[in-house]
Structure 1
Amino acid sequence: MRSDKHQHKNRKKRKRKAFLLVLLILIAAVFAYIYWQFRAGVSESTKDSNVEKVEYEFNGEKDEQGWTNTLLIGSDTRGEKGARSDTIMIAHYHKDKGIYKITSIMRDSYVEIPGHGKNKINAAFAFGGPELLRQTIKDNFGLDIQYYSIVDFEGFVQLIDEAFPDGVEVDVEKHMSDYIGVTLEPGVQQLDGEHLLGYVRFRNDTMGDFTRVERQQKVVKNVAGQLTSLETVPKLPKLIGVVTPFINTNLNTATMLFMGKDFLTAGNKNIESLTIPVEGGFKEQRVSGIGDILAPDLEKNRAALDEFLKADQTQ
C-alpha cells in the first residue's frame, strides 16, 4: 500500500512539474512574440524621427480620483529646439472603471506660466519642456498628470499606415489645402496617414483652432473605434514598436502595452471629450506682443474639468 501511495505521489509531482514546464514555455513564447513584434515594428519605421530622446524631469502624480492622466504633446519641430507645442491633449484612463476620456487644451489659452508670467499655454513647453507644461496645467486647472508623451507627427502617420493599410474612413467636410502639405476634397473617403494628419492640422476655418480641435477629437474617437473593430490585440506590440522612435515618453513599454490591451479588450468604446476653455468660459482678446488669445475663466474651467472627470464614477 505504501508503495502504491508513493508511486501515486510521484506521478502527481511529475504531472505538476510537466504542467509548470509547459506553462513556463508558453509564457516565454508569449514574451518572445511580444518582443519580436515590438522589434519588427521599430525596424519597419520607414522614416527618421525628429523627436529628441531626452529624459525630461517630470514630477507628476496619479490623480486622487483614480485617473491615470497622460499629457500628449503634438510636435512638428523638425529638430528645432524651443518649439511650442502644436497640440495639447490629456488622455484619461480609469483602470477600475474601464473608462477612457480625452481633454484638449486650446494652445492660445492665456494663462500664468510659473516663473514666466502670462503667456499662451503652448509657450510653457518651449520655456521648460513637459514638466513646466504639467505645472502650468496643474496651477491653472487643478489637474494632476502622471505621464507625458511628446509625439512627432510623423509617428502618427506611421501608426495609421501600419494599423490601417486601407486608410481610415473620414467624412471630410470641405476642401482643405492651406498649410497642411496635402489637398483634401469633401466627402467620405479612406485617408492614409499623411492625408489624415493634414485633416487634423487644418485650421483655416471661421472658428480657427476650435474647429481644428474638434477634428482632432473626432479622429481620435474614429481611429479608436476602428482599431477595436480589428483583431488588433496581437498587433499591439508591433504598433507600439512602429511609433516608439517617434515618441519621447516616461511611459515604459509594459505600461503602454497594458493600457492599450485594456482599451482594445474593453466592452465600452465610447470616449467622451472636453475642450478647455469651455463654451462661455473665456474671452477673446488681443495682447500686445503676443497676439490673439483666449482668456479663460479659471473657476468655470476648473469646475467643468472636475465635473467631466467625476462623471461615471458611480458605475
Structure 2
Amino acid sequence: MVQSLGESKKKRKRVRVRWGRVFGALLLLCIFIIGVYSVYQYIQGTVEANNKSFKNDKGNYSFQGKNDEIGAVNVLLLGSDSRGEKQARTDTIMVAHYDQRTHTVKLISFMRDMYTSIPGHGKGKLNAAYAYGGPELLRETITENFNLDINYYAIVDFKGFEEAVDILVPDGIQVDVPHVMSSGIGMELEKGKQILHGKELLGYVRFRQDRLSDFGRVQRQQEVVSKIMEESISIDNVAKLPKLLGILNSYVNTNMDTSTLFTIGKDIVTKKSGDLETLRIPEDGTFQNKRYEDNGEVLEVDFQQNKEALKEFLVGE
C-alpha cells in the first residue's frame, strides 16, 4: 500500500511538470505570434504609407533636449503643412507631457503669434523660431521664455493626422460645427452636429477665418485630440498600434524611438493614461494684442504669470 501511494504521488508530480511545460510552450508561442503580427502590421503600415503620393521631409534635425529619466517626458508636437519648401512653416505648436510613473498625459497649446525672445534673432513671433532654426531653436525659445524643458520633438505632416484618425476611430468623431467653414481648408463643412472623419476633422481644426481666429483653432485642436483619445480606447486599437506606427513612420519626423512611442500609445488606447488635461498658453487675461511694424499683429504676453500657470498645471505647485 505504501509503495502504491508513492507511485501515485510520482505520477501526479510528473503530470504537473508536463502541464507546466505545456503552459510555458503556449506562452512562448503566444509571444512569438504577437511579435510576428506586430512586425507584419508595422511593415503593412509602412508599405501603405509609401504607396501614397506624399513624401515627408525626413531630414535629421539637431535637437538638444535632455534625455528623459524615469519621470516626466515633454514632447514638442508640431503640425507641418509641407509643400516642398526648404523649411515649412508650423501652424500648430503643442507640448505633450507624459508622466512615466502615473501614466498621465497633459497637452499644452502654445499660440504661434506670441511675441517672444528668440535666441540669436531678437524678438519675433513664436512660430518664427521654427522657420529660423527648426525644432531645436523652437525648443530653445520655449525654454527661455517659459522655463519648460523639452525632451523630444515630433513633426507631423497633416496627411499623417488624417491617416491616424481613420485608423484609430474609423467611425469618425462627432463635433458641433458652430458655423459654415470653408475658407482656407479646401472643403466646406456645414453648421451643426455631425460625424467627421480624418480629412474633414483636419479641416475643422485648421479653420481660423472667424471672430476667434487662432484662439478658436487651438480650442478645436484640443477638443478633437481629447475626443480621439476618448473614442480610441479599446483593446482592438492596441493591436492596431504596430500598423499605426508603420504608417506614421512616413508622416512623422521625430527623435523618439519606436519603443517609447509604443509604450505611450498603449497607455493612451488602454485608458491607462486617464482623461486628457489641456492648457492654452497664454492664459486669458495674461496678454494684450499689439502691432509691430516688423511682425504685424502679435500677442504681448505676461511671461511670469504664464510660467506660474505652466508650473501649476504640470506639477501642481
TM-score (structure 1 length as normaliser): 0.90
- Equivalent residue runs for 1:145-294 within 5 Å: 145-228=150-233, 231-267=236-272, 269-294=274-299
Against the structure 1 CA distance between its residues 273 and 95, is the aligned structure 2 distance closer, same or farther, given a 3 Å change threshold? same
Whole-angstrom CA distance in 1 between matches of 2:26 and 2:234: 32
Against the structure 1 CA distance between its residues 309 and 65, is the aligned structure 2 distance closer, same or farther, given a 3 Å change threshold? farther
Identity %: 47
Q: C-alpha displacement at 1:84, in angstroms? A: 2.3
Q: C-alpha displacement at 1:19, in angstroms? A: 5.0
Q: 1:105 aligned to 2:110?
A: yes
Worse overlay, 59-68 or 287-296: 59-68
Alignment-derived partner of residue 58 in structure 1:
63
Paired residues of 1:50 and 1:78 also in contact (CA < 8 A): no
Larger Rg: 2
Worse overlay, 55-64 or 165-174: 55-64
Q: C-alpha displacement at 1:152, in angstroms? A: 0.3
Against the structure 1 CA distance between its residues 209 and 21, is the aligned structure 2 distance closer, same or farther, given a 3 Å change threshold? same
Against the structure 1 CA distance between its residues 273 and 63, is the aligned structure 2 distance closer, same or farther, given a 3 Å change threshold? farther
Whole-angstrom CA distance in 2 between matches of 1:61 and 1:14: 50
Q: 1:25 aligned to 2:59?
A: no
Alignment-derived partner of residue 149 in structure 2:
144
Whole-angstrom CA distance in 2 between matches of 1:161 and 1:8: 54
- Equivalent residue runs for 1:2-13 within 5 Å: none
Say what the alpha-carbon RMSD is for the aligned residues.
2.5
Q: C-alpha displacement at 1:37, in angstroms? A: 1.1
SS in 2 for 1:285: strand
SS in 2 for 1:82: coil
Worse overlay, 63-72 or 82-91: 63-72
Q: C-alpha displacement at 1:193, in angstroms? A: 1.2
Alignment-derived partner of residue 88 in structure 2:
83
- Structure 1 residues 97-131: Cα deviation after superposition (integer angstroms, max 9, x where no partner): 22111000000011011111111110111111111
Q: C-alpha displacement at 1:262, in angstroms? A: 1.1
Worse overlay, 225-234 or 300-309: 225-234
Worse overlay, 237-246 or 261-270: 261-270
Q: 1:42 aligned to 2:46?
A: yes
Whole-angstrom CA distance in 2 between matches of 1:192 and 1:183: 14
Against the structure 1 CA distance between its residues 20 and 82, is the aligned structure 2 distance closer, same or farther, given a 3 Å change threshold? same
TM-score (structure 2 length as normaliser): 0.90
Paired residues of 2:70 and 2:100 also in contact (CA < 8 A): no
